[in-house]
Structures are given as structure tokens and as C-alpha cells.
Structure 1
Amino acid sequence: MSTIELAGASRWYGNVVAVNDVTLSIRPGLTGLLGPNGAGKTTVLHMMAGLMAPSQGEVLVDGRPAWRNPAVYRDLGLVTERESVPGFLTAWEFVLASAKLHKLPDPASAARAALAVVELQDAQDRRISTYSKGMRQRSRVAAALVHEPSVLLLDEPFNGMDPRQRMHMMELLDGMADAGRTIVFSSHILEEVEQLSGTVQVIVSGRLAASGDYRHIRRLMTNRPHVFAISSSDDRALATALMGQVSVSGVSITGAGLQVHASDYGEFTRALAGLARARGIRLTAVLPSDESLEKVFSYLVTT
């Protein structure tokens, strides 16, 4: 049963801090690293994989330092975000080469098994340059799985996959986690994480902003203050009515309608329709105006 531990782990490049004092423990099962692009997720994964030394703190895999410890790769597989697959190779050649690099006793059998896991048997003799992005991704996952590692790290594994491929990959990761493997994947899309069981670690601006199951993270995001752009048949009357609501912290009238600051998302959205109906006001648009990923995730840093 493999574990990953980060204790006060930081990584900086000159004056740029990529990861700032992250402490977390990852047990067998499925863990998602969630955060906007540039948050530091890739740096965290690379430190876990031993590709990068922490500037400060420790990163341990099964109690052993990940950095400068080649033995860790007997039990660890990594799928990076950036593609580095030679397009002139077939998937069979690529996965077989990975099996030979691991010095497996029967590399051909191991390669066949890994390709079957990702359902690439029928296309294994085609050059990888002819593959779709999703198929190339699956060939890389097969190469990472060929030695049956107990720890699998994946950086944005669903990029480029069509819905069927994405569903198959999710089922594959769920199955491996249920079998006792430690699976860590990164994503900037909460809905991807929600479809996979397990723990969520939210990384924002290099810091661990929140931790828990996806329901807990969703509640934190939903309950944050929101800004709505609203237009109606009588904006002034609606503004007056909204100012009396406990869930509303501010209302301003703009050329396009109302800008409403809601301190309680759930209470505000439940009350709005009934409030307008009671006063004979017709709502023509209700749009969240602060839904960028950066704003949504950054809120968690201050909670």
C-alpha cells in the first residue's frame, strides 16, 4: 500500500515561488489535484515523481525520498502533460521499449497486457503520428502502466479525449484505485474530479488552498460570495426589493441592468424568483459575472 508525503515542500526558481510550503498525505485510492492553469500542480507532480528536487521540505514515496532515488521508479508510473512520444514508433514498439527499460522478465507479455488495459490492441501496429490526441494519450498511459506500478501520477490525463475515451479512462483509474493503487491526477476542471471518487487537493498560486472530498470542495465554491448581472422589466423596483434581503450585500444599477453582490449563493438564488414574482417583475437575464476559474479557486485561499 503505497503512500506519498509532502512535508513543507516548496519549489522556487530564482524569485518565482512555484510551490509554497505544501504539506499533504496521499494514501491508496484516487486523489485529484485541482486548480487553475499555472497553480503549481505540475510542479507538485514532478516533485512526487522525483523529476524535481524540493527547494525546501521533503517529498517521500513510501517513506523514501523521491529525489535522486531511482529505485522509486520500480513502483511509480508517470504520464506527463506534455507529449513526448516519438511519432515514428508504433504503440507496440513504444510500450515494448518501456517494458524493456524496466527490465521486465517478459517484456512482450507485459506490453500486450498494458495495451489491452487501454484498449489499443487494434491500433497497436499503427504509427503514433497517425493517432488522435486521445489515442496518443492512451499509448502513454500504457507505457506508464507496463510494469504495474503501485503509484500512478497523471498530469491532465483527460486532455484531448472524446467523451467515450474519457469515460473509459475514468473507469480504468477508478478500478486501479479500488484495487489498492495510489492514483494522483491533476485537472483544472471540477466536473472531471466530481466524476471520480476520492480526495481532492486544491492548489492555488502554489499553495494548498483546500482539501477534502469533492462534495466538500463544491460546497466551499458554491457558498462563496457571488456577483450576478441581472436585467428585468423594472430594475429599480427589483433593486429596492433586493436591498432588503439578508443574502444581498450590495446592488448597483448599470446601463445593462443590475449588478448584485450576493453573500449567500444558495439563499439568494432561491429567493430571487419568488421576490420578482411577488412584485410582478419579469426577470430577463440572471448571469454570474465572476465565474473565471482563477476567481473561483482564489476564493478558497482566504477561507
Structure 2
Amino acid sequence: MTTLSVDRASRWFGNVVAVNDVTMTIGPGVTGLLGPNGAGKSTLINMMGGFLAPSTGAVTLDGEPVWQNEGVYRHIGVVPEREAMYDFLTGGEFVLANAELHGLPDPGAAAARALATVEMEYAQDRRISTYSKGMRQRVKMASALVHDPSVLLLDEPFNGMDPRQRLQLMEMLRRMGEDGRTVLFSSHILEEVEQLAHHIEVVVAGRHAASGDFRKIRRMMTDRPHHYLVRSSDDRRLASALIADGSTAGVELDPAERALRVRAVDFARFTELLPRVAKENGIRLLTVSPSDESLESVFSYLVSA
């Protein structure tokens, strides 16, 4: 059982705090690291992979510090989001070089296995400069897998992949998790995490916002207050009908938008209430649009929850 632990870790760059007092434990199985762009996900993964030292706090692998401990690299594979490849090499040469750097007894066989795992044998003799974004992602994955690590850290691994490649990679990561490996992948896309990870860690603005079973966190997101912009044929009459119901916590007229701003605290009840009340009062609904559905607003709610 391989476990990565982050204990009150922070990391800052000058006056910019990228990660702020984060504590989390990543164990066997597939864990999703979820958060909007710029939340600190890459910085966290770089600290877990030993590429960055925490400014304060600690990151350990089975109790051993990760930073400046070359022994942990036998157990960790990292797929960074940033391109860090040698375009003049072929894909096969790139993966082979990583196998040799790890000092494996048969680097050629290890490279061949890793390329087969990500289905890149057909392009192993082509220069990386000719690869698409998705192909580059898969060769980076092969280089991270070449030494058969027990921990795999992936930063936005699905970027640039076509649907078939995404499904193939998801199935591979799912199998690794089932085999007892510790797999952590970051994403800002809710659906990617939902399809692959049962356990998630949420970070927003460098802070640890939520942790636990995906369904529980999804419920927290769904149950949060929702804000709507509603235009109708009679906004004042509609406002009177809505404010009388417990599913709304606030209804106000917005003269600039010529609309109602509604704060719904019972999402399911409100979605049933609005069309019913409009019909009963002979009011035509012209526009009903959520005004807070960005990922940033959802994640920000989790921070304050």
C-alpha cells in the first residue's frame, strides 16, 4: 500500500502564494485533483513528484520525504502538463532514454512494454516533432510508466486527446487503480473526474476546498444556492409568487437587466415551482438563465461551505 501525504504544505513564488496550507492523503486507487485553472494543481503535483520543495510543510511517500530523496523516483511516475520533450528524438528513443536513466536491467524491453501499454508502437520510429498533442501525451505517459511505478501523477493528462484516446487512457488508469497502484490525475473538467475517480480532492485558489467521495462532493455542488436571471411578461407579479415559497431565499428586480434575480436554495423544488407558478398566474417566461454556473463559482462555493 503506497501512500502520498501532503502535510500543511505551502508553496509561494515571491509574493504569489500558489499552494496555501494544504493537507491531503492520496492512497491506492484513482483520485481526481479537481479545480479551476490557476488553482494550484500543477504546483501540488510538482511537489508530490519531488520537482518542487514546499516553502513550508512536508510531502512524504510512505513516510519518506519526497524532496531531494532520489530513492522515491523508483516508485513515482510523473506526466507533466507542460511540454518537456526532445523533438529531435523519436518516441521510442525518448522512452528508451528514460528507461536507461532509471538503470533498468533491460531498458529496451521496458521501453517496448511501455509503448505497447499506451498503443504507440506504430509511431515509435517517428520524430516527436511530427507528433500531435495527443500522441505527445501518450509518449509522456509511456516514459512515466517505463519503470513500472507504484505511484502515477498526471497533470491534465487528457488535454489534446481525441475521444478514442481519452477512453483508452481512462480504461488504462482504471485498471491501474484496481491493481492497487496510487493514481492521481488533475483536471478542471468535472465530467472527466466523474467518469474515472470515485475519490476527489478539490483545490481553489491554492486552498484545499473539499475531499471525499465524488458523489458526496457532487451533491454539495448541486445543493448549493443557485442564482437565476428570469425575464417574464410580469416580473413584479412573478416575484410576489416566488418569494412566498421556501425554495427561494431572495428575489429582486434588476431594472438595468429588466429582469428578476432569484436566489434558489432548493434546486429541485424551484425548477418545478417556476413553470407551475407562471402557468397558474398567466405569466409568460421569456428567459430563465443561471448566472453562477461557471466552475469558478461552483468551486468558490465549496471553499466557503
What TM-score does the superposition give when structure 1 sets the normalisation length? 0.96
What CA distance in whole angstroms lies between the structure 2 residues aligned with 1:256 and 1:167?
Answer: 45
What CA distance in whole angstroms lies between the structure 2 residues aligned with 1:150 and 1:16?
Answer: 33
Q: Residue type matched to 1:291 in 2?
A: E
For residue 86 of structure 2, what is the aligned residue in structure 1? 86
Contact 2:48 / 2:66 at 8 angstroms: preserved in 1?
yes
Query: SS where residue 196 of structure 2 aligns?
Result: coil
State which drifts further: 9-18 or 155-164: 9-18
**1:107: how far off?**
1.0
Per-residue displacement from partner, 1:114-168 (whole Å, max 9, x unpaired)?
1111111111111111111111100100000011000000001111111111111
For residue 25 of structure 1, what is the aligned residue in structure 2? 25
Structure 2 gaps of 5+ residues are none
**1:237: how far off?**
2.3
For residue 270 of structure 1, what is the aligned residue in structure 2? 272
1:1-303 alignment runs, 5 A limit: 1-254=1-254, 255-303=257-305
Q: Runs of at least 4 residues of structure 1 off by over 3 A? A: none
What is the total number of aligned residue pairs between the two structures?
303
What CA distance in whole angstroms lies between the structure 2 residues aligned with 1:198 and 1:61?
Answer: 22
**1:231: how far off?**
2.1
What CA distance in whole angstroms lies between the structure 2 residues aligned with 1:121 and 1:270?
Answer: 54
State which drifts further: 24-33 or 281-290: 281-290
Q: Residue type matched to 1:218 in 2?
A: R
Per-residue displacement from partner, 1:173-232 (whole Å, max 9, x unpaired)?
101110110001111111110001321000011111101111111111111112111223
What CA distance in whole angstroms lies between the structure 1 residues aligned with 2:303 and 2:174?
Answer: 29
Q: Residue type matched to 1:122 in 2?
A: Y
**1:258: how far off?**
2.0
Per-residue displacement from partner, 1:74-123 (whole Å, max 9, x unpaired)?
01000111011112211111111111111111111111111111111111
What CA distance in whole angstroms lies between the structure 1 residues aligned with 2:198 and 2:174?
Answer: 9
What CA distance in whole angstroms lies between the structure 1 residues aligned with 2:287 and 2:196?
Answer: 33
**1:256: how far off?**
4.1
What CA distance in whole angstroms lies between the structure 1 residues aligned with 2:38 and 2:223?
Answer: 24
Q: Residue type matched to 1:41 in 2?
A: K
Structure 1 gaps of 5+ residues are none
Query: SS where residue 126 of structure 1 aligns?
Result: coil
What CA distance in whole angstroms lies between the structure 2 residues aligned with 1:138 and 1:72?
Answer: 23
Q: Residue type matched to 1:300 in 2?
A: L
Query: SS where residue 72 of structure 1 aligns?
Result: helix
Query: SS where residue 68 of structure 1 aligns?
Result: coil
What TM-score does the superposition give when structure 2 sets the normalisation length? 0.95
Q: Residue type matched to 1:262 in 2?
A: A
What CA distance in whole angstroms lies between the structure 1 residues aligned with 2:197 and 2:34?
Answer: 14
Q: Residue type matched to 2:252 in 1?
A: S
Contact 2:29 / 2:177 at 8 angstroms: preserved in 1?
yes
Contact 2:19 / 2:43 at 8 angstroms: preserved in 1?
yes
What CA distance in whole angstroms lies between the structure 2 residues aligned with 1:164 and 1:48?
Answer: 29
Query: SS where residue 149 of structure 1 aligns?
Result: coil
Query: SS where residue 195 of structure 1 aligns?
Result: helix
Query: SS where residue 108 of structure 2 aligns?
Result: helix
Contact 2:32 / 2:197 at 8 angstroms: preserved in 1?
no
Query: SS where residue 125 of structure 1 aligns?
Result: coil
